[in-house]
Structure 1
Amino acid sequence: MQAASDLTQLKKRLQRQRHKAIQRFRLRPRSEHLLRRLSTYTDQCLTQLTALKPLPAASALIAVGGYGRQELYPFSDVDILILLHHPPSLNEQHAIEQFIAALWDIGIKAASSVRTIAQCLEAAEADIATQTAQLEARFITGHLKLFKQLQKSLEQQLEVKTFFQAKLAEMRQRHAHYQNTPYALEPNCKESPGALRDLQILLWLAKAMGLGDSWQQIAQAQLLSPAELRAITRASAAFMRLRIELHLLSQRAEDRLLFDYQPELARIYGFTGKDKQQASEKLMQRYYWAARTVHQMNTILMQNLEEILFSPQPPVREPIDAFFEVRNQRLHLRQPEQLQKHPDLILRAFLLLQQRGDLHHFSAQTLRALWHARRLINESFRQQPLHQQLFLAILQQPRGVLHALRLMNMLNILPRYIPEFRHIVGQMQHDLFHVYTVDQHTLMVIRNLRRFTLAEYANDHPLASQLMDAFERPWVLYIAALFHDIAKGRGGNHAELGAQDALAFCQRHQLNAADTELIVFLVYDHLSMSMVAQKRDISDPTVIADFAKHVSTPRRLSALFLLTVADIKGTNPTIWNSWKAKLLSDLYTLTLRVLQGDQPNATEILAQRKAQALTQLLAQNIDANDIENLWDVFDISYFLRHECDEIVWHGQALHKALLHPHPVVETRPVGKGETIQIMIYTPDREDLFMHICAFFDQHHLNTQDARIYTTNHGWALDSFVLLLPRHQRYTTSFAKTIQHQLCTFLQHPQTSFDTAPRYLPQTQSRRARVFPIAPIVDIQPMSQPHTWKISIVCADRKGLLYSIAQAFTAQRINVKSAKIMTLGERVEDTFIVHSDELHHTAFFKQFERALRSVL
């Protein structure tokens, strides 16, 4: 009983100490002090526990890992090693088990290992993580001599070069796990690139190399300048505090900046805005800036340490000019102080790196010199014609453009050369659409444009590769990409403001009038082609004619197409698909015909499509009378709204349908098979669209486009383009299954509909719940009688289209066509509907309320 009472007292004392330490942190958030206090209190508790639950004689209790370096976070595991002189006897094993059980009794979440020195060496040999944890071993209590023997043995075992290579491989693997970017939406402040682990690896390696185990000692070893020491110390403190705040907020060992925590963290840090979304964006921008600093320091120091360990002495040198040389296969600035006298060397360094394809990086000394020289880039620097020529030359190189721009951004040179760019560095957008910060998205767009020039990516988008190959001066596209989103976050129309910035850049760099006009047009109109392709009916000749008039020249059309494809693909990796590719390619082709003088009227288009379709159907031995009978139930609008290949597809499936009236369902793949087109021919009824949407939801088919047509004899001929489930591809067996099940569904709608799923708004993602967007419903009359255009913008969720269809059906709204634009977790849908009642004000308001209620 006494032992239990003693354990209870020990637990209460530790809880009081922890509570007091956290309260002191709340009054004055000094992270290192809190972590050290928590470690010290835990040391004291463990020492007292060994008196109550003795460990074997001649053993040592040792702190390892984060606890070993006295960085014990509020809810982290307490990593301990029970070091034994020899393998334990049964009695000793029992004593150890009693001690470990008591740890949990007093509230210590321990991660324990029990080893002899030989076993420690064996474990270190087998696992780099274990070797690293033991490298930070710290004595708590017990047999001090045994602990010192372990330290000596570990030091003798440590092969520094092997350790460096293993830690470098481990870091690269970890970075790859996090997509090699610090700019994730929900970064892990411990493991993500640019986070705590990237700082810790530097300390581990420095310690292994005998260069010190603190930033101050590393600076004393001449590996950090005073400015770098200040920067890395601030970044380290910032990440420590953030991890502490996450633990305290979540009340567990949570290291991810989940959307759920970002608004409250923003409040704790004192960030304000017009709403929690804006405050969170400010918080995340600060995070990304800190992560970029860590990434800079990690890149420079890892390279520095690598050169110390592996570079031959004396170094292998190859002179380039009076300022640069190749040193150990890296570009090296001979005298960094020359940057003060010749600041043009800043940009010339990147240009040289591009021009020397055999070199992939700067030396550590040159990286450091360029980072320090960033402050030389001011307005006077930007006005120098030589510097302007060098920057344009970087963009005009046949290779290395993206690599150079990424390095310039990391070293804070790009934001200083283009000051407007600084505002978008680390700028997150909680619009449920973008998954990259604006600066990273911009570089992704340039990456995609560069890929259009490379043969290995030609199959990804053949038309884009073909157009890029023929496009003169493609570097103008890179400038447009740099500026297309540069005004994000400023308020106002970002395209208009960005166009003004682009114009100023072009004038300052003395670009000719034609290139300047094209760049400004692209920035101002960079969204227009996407909007027309995804929201308008591009089978309508008027839509194409209007767009052609707006674009005005084939060069502007090609440039806008290339920028649009690169922009969409660089926004969110999940939103690009074969259907979007087809829409944009079709819009490009149709618009180019008009710009080249081929602008037929509706009568000519009708005649051409019917003639081409008839020729193809007759070539397949389909009877001309069957075709004529089928086409008799179609009016002119059918032939104007459907392309020739669709008319042929329908003819193949339906040429006998009038003789045997029953539902017909046909499918075909779109693009590479991640998208499917489904044709439905069935007796029309008011709730048909709703029932079809229910079926698609049941089968996890995501609608991208819908064309609703009713024949002269009252049958529906509807065509849907749908995105297949993530890991599903179009196969013949899959298509047959869908056709059979959908036919059954159409023939017995009520029976099937009784099992249709019911969805709640809570099926939205965490991001949509934490950062909701206000639904927008816009209902506008069209020129045709009783025809209305309904535009909806809201957060996506499972069953959304079905819920909208329910609202339409309940109010007897007849859908004629639908353009479903899914942008990540955001939808922008457009419906053309028919209603005899919407012109009545009371009905209009009632319907609008009903529609909003399901969004």
Structure 2
Amino acid sequence: MTAEILSSLRERIQQSRRAAVAQFREHERPDTLLSELRRIVDAGLRDLIKHCPLPAGATLAAVGGYGRGELYPHSDVDLLILLPHAPTREDETAIEQLVASLWDLGLEPGHSVRTIEDCEREADADITVETALLESRWLAGSRALMKKFDAATKSRLDPRAFFRAKRVEMQQRHARYHDTPYALEPNCKESPGGLRDLQVILWMARAAGFGNSWRSVAQAGLLTSSEARDLRKAEQAFKRLRIELHLLSNRREDRVLFDLQPALAEVYGIHATATRRGSELLMQRYYWAARLVTQLNGILVQNIEERLFPRPESDARDIDDDFRNLRDRLDIIRDDGFERNPTLLLRAFLVMQQHPELTGMSARTLRAIWHSRHRIDAQFRRNPVNRKLFLQILQQPRGIVHELRRMTMLNILPRYLPVFRRIVGQMQHDLFHAYTVDQHTLAVVRNLRRFTMPEHAQEYPLASQLIASLDRHWVLYVAALFHDIAKGRGGDHSELGAREVRKFAQDHGMDPEDAKLAEFLVRQHLLMSAVAQKRDLSDPAVVQEFAATVKDERHLTALYLLTVADIRGTSPKVWNAWKGKLLEDLYKLTLAALGGAHADAHTVLTERKDEAARLTRLAGLRDDAREAFWNQLDVAYFLRHDASDIAWHTRHLYHQVAPAQAVVKARPTEQGEGLQIMVYTRDAPDLFVAICGYFDAKSLSIQDARIHTTRHGWALDSFIVLLPEGASDLRAQATLVEHELAERLKDPHAAAQTQPSRGGYYGRNRQSRVSRVFPVMPQAELQPDERSTSWRLSVTATDRPGLLHALARVFARHEINLLMAKIMTLGDRVEDVFIVDGSALARPRSQMQFERDVLDALAGEEAQQRVA
């Protein structure tokens, strides 16, 4: 085959493809485009065969999606070269020339070369191969061989074995995608509720002899006409989405990536509102469609199973007048049961909780619930019986999370709580929520439930202990359901949610004290996390202020439990043991304050020094040696450090009050997740910059920093840092940090001048894709501290490598002294608080310049990317 012929054929295929895509942009009919792309490649292959003939007696067949007659813009062209016998050397040469020419045409073939016997052997070993061959289609070559192949494929197909294998394969695929259609970047082909789930139904139906179209499946009695219509509509929506993904990315891309979501929203004409991005609205539509497919997939797979593996209904055992146990599934006795008595739409889930032998719901029950969901209207919601049933579901000892998830999937919970419907499938592009609002909400309920289970008591011992002693802890589940219910509306979602839960409590006749608790929890669900991570817990006034808000032990305990469950349900990256310690410390300090321990600063100072002195004596330190060192420290130091830290510092520094070189000591934190690091050296303007530069270079994430200067001008700085993922052997890491940081601080000014290099550590981009696509708007707020002469700088930004290092440079440039840093990292978002002072802050003009430079540092990476 000459290069000219190949080039001409390639150009013709490309032109035809471009024309087909242009036509698609006008009519937007997915099936038309997929068929046209298939037709173009069919014609191109047949032209190619004229110049690169197949081996004698061979057949060229399309398989897989291409065999089905669908070809996406950048999909592989799946081909089977079927031979009548084992290939000869001449056959192999001809096949190699053909395949090479396919690549030259730009078709990206996925090909196999087999005899019929090879196909049968491969199909026996791999259900994926068997499925692909099931959709084979003749393209060129021997029709007789193709006919023989078709006959062999059909004769060996065992519908029951095929069904079992496809179901297992589907379950394994769902597990790879965490059994949820609600992924942040779902794969529209492979994720649960995507195209593959639709194809599985048709493959199973075809193998069982029920046809290979939605119409034929409906005619076989497996689907209602409305279900067939819904599935057809969802199928077209997913096909179009997959086409758009290929066209936008210009490659074979089936994932709805963050980078593509804004562009997809534009293609679909979905525009942002005052409170939500267009991409968030797009993804909500996706999740609704995926939920529909997931639901109908479950019904249809059960229906096909019941046809293939029939069992007498005499096996059923009545549970009550309305439900029975049919093969360990909840079955509605009358097909019109839910229509006749809509209250059963809630009671079905209560029965599931009360009968642990039930493994699920029958297809008949699922279908009946699905088609009767419209009966949940305003009158249904006002019915006292239904309101009592809903509270009973939340009060059961088991099955709460399972049934709430099932109620959400079947659209029962969103209909019963219309405010919940607004958050179903609602994406949160805020860089720290890894789930949609409804899935996050149910995850919080799940985490609360885990606190009640003995098998999980070792995960959070304090939480498990507290929930066991909390009266009517089911009120926590109500608060969890409503804590984010007002997300996406604009305004303060905590306040709006508090109003919603107040109305719910009134409507459902909750005890007044329980109602007040639920309202308090929703209104204040962010408070404890903010105080623990952003405020100085060593300050008695901070604890007293928080105690005045929570008022009593029940409110404190409930808020602690909800806070831990909420953070844990946000994202796997957000929670860490340090945050857990801060929350636990705040809980215990507040509990003491509520119990009457109203200590003033003088009392706290005395008690802390007494405890630190006791610890140093246990370590064998003389009182006079300790006091000599303590005389160099002022009151602020003792108020900012706990007794354990004071004793640790003292043991290492009492004998070297003015060392010639920096003293660096490190030890594992109590939680074993990071290091506590102490730096003692002569103070210098660039010291904090140099320390931050070292931590940044080593991927050590600062969680807490306490900066102190002694009376004689020495810096005594303390840090809590988390190690990079995968780091182990904390003691070895501590030894390494002690040596390397001490070496670096021999000349802190030179160390501070070290600039990030594009080729080294600083040059690599650790930002996630979502943070690049949906960056946080940098914010900086500088306010005088209420109880001192210092200032409080609060910053919010997208997390990135070197961010704290960049801020440290700004502090040094403006001669700003850092007294304390509270680092709050939420996934890819940071919300940090710095307590600072400096003469520049007393002058309005220099203060404004400092704030501008802080904002520039926060936005530095984003600004550089925009310029680039």
TM-score by length of 1: 0.97
Partner of 2:34: 35
Partner of 1:686: 685
| 1:836 corresponds to | 839
Aligned-partner Cα distance in 2 for 1:785–1:490: 38
Structure 2: how far apart are the matches of 1:200 and 1:672? Answer: 48
Deviations along 1:515-548, whole A, 9 cap, x unmatched?
A: 1100011111111111111111111000000100
Q: Is the 8 A contact 2:276 2:488 kept in 1?
A: no
| Per-residue Cα deviation, 1:446-498 (whole angstroms, up to 9, x for no partner) | 01000101112212111111111111111110000000000000111111111
Q: 1:44 to 1:559 in 2, by over 3 A?
A: same
Shift, 1:426, TM fit = 0.8
1:811 partnered with 2:809: no
Give the conservation status (yes or no) of the 8 Å contact 2:668–2:731.
no
Q: Which one-letter code corresponds to 1:609 in the other structure?
A: R
Distance 1:518 1:25 in 2: 56
Quote how far apart the aligned CAs of 1:185 are: 1.6
Query: 1:381-530 residue pairs with structure 2 within 5 A?
Result: 381-530=380-529
What SS does structure 1 have at the residue aligned with 2:842? coil
Aligned to 1:8: 7
Task: State the shift of 1:729 in Å.
Answer: 3.2
Per mean C-alpha deviation after superposition, the further-off stretch among 48-57 and 446-455 is 48-57
- Mapped partners of 1:82, 1:295: distance in 2: 36
Instruction: Describe the superposition over 1:77-128 as per-residue Cα deviations: whole angstroms up to 9, x where unpaired.
Output: 0000011110121112211122212212222221111100000111112222
1:657 corresponds to:
656
Q: Give secondary structure in 1 for the equivalent of 2:800.
A: coil
**What SS does structure 2 have at the residue aligned with 1:111?**
strand
Structure 2 counterpart of 1:429, one-letter code: Q
- Quick one: distance in 2 between partners of 1:66 and 1:657? 75
Q: Identify the residue that residue 735 of structure 2 maps to in structure 1.
A: 736
Percent identical across equivalent pairs? 51
How far, CA to CA, are the matches of 1:315 and 1:735 in structure 2? Answer: 69
Q: Distance in 2 between matches of 1:610 and 1:827?
A: 34
Aligned mates of 1:446, 1:853 — CA distance in 2: 40
3-state SS of paired residue (1:321): coil
Higher mean C-alpha displacement, 733-742 vs 166-175 = 166-175
CA 1:621 to 1:763, structure 2 compared with 1: closer, same or farther past 3 Å? closer
In structure 1, give the amino acid aligned to 2:848. Answer: K
Amino acid at match of 2:814: Q
Alpha-carbon distance change, 813 to 261 in structure 1, aligned in 2, over 3 angstroms: same
Q: What secondary structure does 1:193 align onto?
A: coil
Match of 1:777 among 776, 780, 786: 780
Show the 5 A alignment for 1:147-226. Answer: 147-226=146-225
Matches within 5 A, 1:75-86: 75-86=74-85
- Cα distance in 2 for residues equivalent to 1:746 and 1:622: 28
Aligned to 1:766: 769
Alignment of 1:538-577 (within 5 A): 538-577=537-576
Is 1:144 the counterpart of 2:147 in the alignment?
no
Q: In the alignment, which residue of structure 2 is the partner of 1:589?
A: 588
Task: Return 76-85 or 596-605, whichever deviates more.
Answer: 596-605
Q: Is the CA contact (8 Å cut-off) linking 1:781 and 1:788 kept in structure 2?
A: yes
- Partner Cα separation in structure 1 for residue 790 and residue 341 of structure 2: 68
Deviation at 1:274, TM superposition (A): 4.9
Using the alignment, how far apart are the partners of 1:556 and 1:23 within structure 2?
62
Cα distance in 2 between the residues matched to 1:375 and 1:653: 71
Residue 318 of structure 1 deviates from its aligned partner by: 1.3
- Whether contact under 8 Å (2:578, 2:671) holds in the other structure is no
Q: Measure the CA separation in 1 of the matches of 2:530 and 2:252.
A: 44
C-alpha contact 1:215 1:233 (8 A) present in aligned 2: yes
CA contact (8 A) 1:59 1:142 kept: yes
Instruction: Name the SS of the counterpart of 1:818 in structure 2.
Output: strand
TM-superposed CA distance for 1:306, in Å, is 2.8
Change (3 A) 1:633 1:820: same
What is residue 745 of structure 1 aligned with on the other side? 744
Shift of 1:714: 1.4
Q: Secondary structure at the match of 2:317?
A: strand
Q: Secondary structure at 2:840's aligned position in 1?
A: coil
Q: CA deviation at 1:273?
A: 1.4
Q: 1:651 to 1:310 in 2, by over 3 A?
A: farther
Alpha-carbon deviation of 1:444? 0.5
Distance in structure 1 (CA, Å) of the matches to 2:23 and 2:123: 38
Q: Residue 722 of structure 2 aligns to which amino acid in structure 1?
A: L
> Are the structure 2 counterparts of residues 770 and 761 from structure 1 closer, same or farther at C-alpha, using a change threshold of 3 Å?
farther
Alignment of 1:64-75 (within 5 A): 64-75=63-74
Partner of 1:38: helix, strand, or coil? helix
2:689 touches 2:752 (CA, 8 Å); kept in 1? Answer: no
Task: Give the AA of the match of 2:334.
Answer: Q
1:221-257 deviations in Å (ceiling 9; x for gaps): 1111122112111111110000000111111111111
Other structure's SS at 1:705 match: strand
Distance in structure 1 (CA, Å) of the matches to 2:803 and 2:686: 16
The alignment status of 1:19 with 2:22, answered yes or no, reads: no
Q: 1:851 — aligned with what?
A: 854
2:864 corresponds to: none
- Aligned-partner residue type, residue 504 of structure 1: K
Which residue type is aligned with residue 143 of structure 1? S
Contact 1:104–1:110 at 8 Å: present in 2 too?
A: yes
What whole-Å deviation, never above 9, does each CA across 1:393-414 have from its counterpart, x for those lacking one?
A: 1000000000000000001100
User: Aligned residue for 1:250?
Assistant: 249
- What is the Cα deviation at residue 13 of structure 1? 2.5
Superposition map of 1:100-115 within 5 A: 100-115=99-114
Per the alignment, in what secondary structure is the counterpart of residue 81 of structure 2?
strand
Partners of 2:684 and 2:748 within 8 A in 1:
no
CA distance in 1, matches of 2:37, 2:754: 56
Q: Does 1:61 align with 2:60?
A: yes
> 1:826 maps to what in 2?
829
Q: Is the 8 A contact 1:673 1:730 kept in 2?
A: no
Residues 241-390 of structure 1 correspond to what in structure 2 (within 5 A)? 241-274=240-273, 278-310=277-309, 312-314=311-313, 316-390=315-389
CA distance in 2, matches of 1:118, 1:751: 74
1:116 corresponds to = 115
Distance across 1 between alignment mates of 2:201 and 2:552: 55
Q: Are the counterparts in 2 of residues 263 and 277 from structure 1 also a CA contact under 8 Å?
A: no
Contact 1:698 1:757 in 2 (8 A): no
Distance (Å, rounded) in 1 between the aligned partners of 2:326 and 2:675: 55
**Cα drift, residue 763 of structure 1:** 5.8
How far does residue 831 in structure 1 lie from its aligned partner after superposition?
0.5
Q: Deviations over 1:541-578 (max 9, x none)?
A: 00000100010010000000000000001011111001
Aligned to 2:793: 790
Stretches of structure 1 lacking an aligned partner (at least 5 in a row): none
Per the alignment, residue 97 of structure 1 pairs with 96
Residues 786, 505 of structure 1: alpha-carbon distance in 2 compared, 3 angstrom cutoff: closer
Amino acid at match of 2:73: P
CA distance in 1 between partners of 2:24 and 2:126 (Å): 36
Is the 2:765–2:801 contact (alpha carbons within 8 Å) kept by the matching residues of 1?
Answer: no
Query: 1:3-25 deviations in whole A, cap 9, x for unaligned?
Result: 44333332232223212211111
CA distance in 2, matches of 1:547, 1:150: 76
| Amino acid across the alignment from 1:605 | V
d(CA) in 2 for partners of 1:717, 1:336: 76
Maintained 8 Å contact 2:605/2:638:
yes
The residue type equivalent to 2:575 in the other structure is W
**Aligned residue pairs, count:** 854
185-194 vs 445-454, which moves further? 185-194
Deviation at 1:752, TM superposition (A): 4.6
